[in-house]
């Protein structure tokens, strides 16, 4: 049976932890927490990012999490809590579910995403413009 994105989001949200933005703001700066930005690099360049966040484009997530992948990133092997975010919380909800299914234990996503973070008064870091 065909499922649309709304059904996939509903299923994901039923099994993952959603961290409200006010709680995410309090967790920012905690050494045991890694904020993972799933947005496209162009979105980050245009909108900024949560300071200190780790950029992992959504299309690379599975490859970067799996320690057996030639693209594995060591950060995902650390015993930390991972808070995923995207622009509005849709991609991050689906990514959090996928990460859980892959065995990442302490994973959640920021409800409302980067938009909620900014609207909640969260710090924003604007990357240096690309030269060229």
Residue 55 lies in a domain: yes
Q: Specify the CATH number for the domain of residue 107.
A: 3.40.250.10
In tens digits, what is the pLDDT along the chain, a chain of 132 residues? 899 999 999 999 999 999 999 999 999 999 999 999 999 999 999 999 999 999 999 999 999 999 999 999 999 999 999 999 999 999 999 999 999 999 999 999 999 999 999 999 999 999 887 676
So what's the pLDDT on residue 110? 98
Residue 66 lies in a domain: yes
So what's the pLDDT on residue 88? 97
Residue 1 lies in a domain: no
So what's the pLDDT on residue 107? 98
Residue 127 lies in a domain: no
Residue linked to tokens 């990012």: 49
Residue 6 lies in a domain: no
Domain housing 92: 17-119
The number of distinct structural domains making up the chain is 1
């Amino acid at each position: 049976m065909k499922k649309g994105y709304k059904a996939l989001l509903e299923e994901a949200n039923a099994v993952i932890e959603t961290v409200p933005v006010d709680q995410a703001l309090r967790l920012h700066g905690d050494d045991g927490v890694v904020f993972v930005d799933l947005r496209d690099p162009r979105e980050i360049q245009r909108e900024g990012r949560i300071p200190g966040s780790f950029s992992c484009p959504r299309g690379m997530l599975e490859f970067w999490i799996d320690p057996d992948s030639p693209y594995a990133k060591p950060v995902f092997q650390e015993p930390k809590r991972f808070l995923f975010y995207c622009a509005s919380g849709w991609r991050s909800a689906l990514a959090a579910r996928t990460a859980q299914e892959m065995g990442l234990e302490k994973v959640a996503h920021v409800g409302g995403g980067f938009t909620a973070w900014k609207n909640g008064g969260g710090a924003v870091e604007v990357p240096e413009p690309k030269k060229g």
